[in-house]
Every structure is written in C-alpha cells, then in structure tokens.
Amino acid sequence: MARSDDRQAAYFALLRAREELDALRRFEEYLLAERARIDRFVADGRALDEGVDARLRRALRHTDDPVGEALELRRRVIADERHRLPGRIEAAEEYVRDCEATHAAKAG
C-alpha cells in the first residue's frame, strides 16, 4: 500500500510541476502582450493628441504626467519580470524532469 501511495504522490507532484511550468509560460506570453498593449495605448494617445488643439485639452493635461509615470513604472516591472522569467522557467523545467524521473522510478 505504501508503494501505491508513493507512486500516487509522485504523480500528483508531477502534475503540479507541469501546471507551474505551463503557468510560467503563459505568464511570459502575457508579459509580451501587456508590453505591446501599453505601447499601442501610448501611440494611440499621441495620435489622438495631434488632432486636438492643446488649449482644448487643458482640462485633461494635468493627468498626462501621472498616467505617463504609471505606464513607465509598469514597463519597468514588466522588464524586470521578463529578465527573471527565463531562470524561473529553466528551474521549473528541471523540476518537471526530476518529477518525471521520480514518477517513472516509482511506477516501474
């Protein structure tokens, strides 16, 4: 019975490891898409500004700096996450391989 419990525990550890790896890969895709979305938002805003007299935009201009600062902060956080992500993915892949080996050893 203990052998069956060990095998089952190894199987569930493998499933969790694979889920974590998949989540990290989806997060990588998300970060790329989010950076592109921010870039489009900024470009679209600049394009809109070009067609409107600056005097008429005066009521909105006081929000330009805070929005720009927030977007720049988000860009920096995205860049930091993207910088660290390859190492996290590599570690997760190694853990999946370890879990696969453990599961194979317990199943065999």
What does pTM read for this prediction?
0.83
Q: What is the mean pLDDT of residues 16-29?
A: 98
pLDDT exceeds 70 at position 65: yes
The residue ranges of every structural domain in the chain are: 2-107
N- to C-terminal Cα distance for the chain? 15
DSSP-derived 3-state class of residue 108: coil
Helix (H) / strand (E) element for 12: namely helix 2-50
What band does 2 get if pLDDT is binned at 50, 70 and 90?
low
Is the pLDDT higher at 55 or at 1?
Answer: 55
The 10s digit of each residue's pLDDT in 31-63 is 999 999 999 999 999 999 888 998 898 888 889
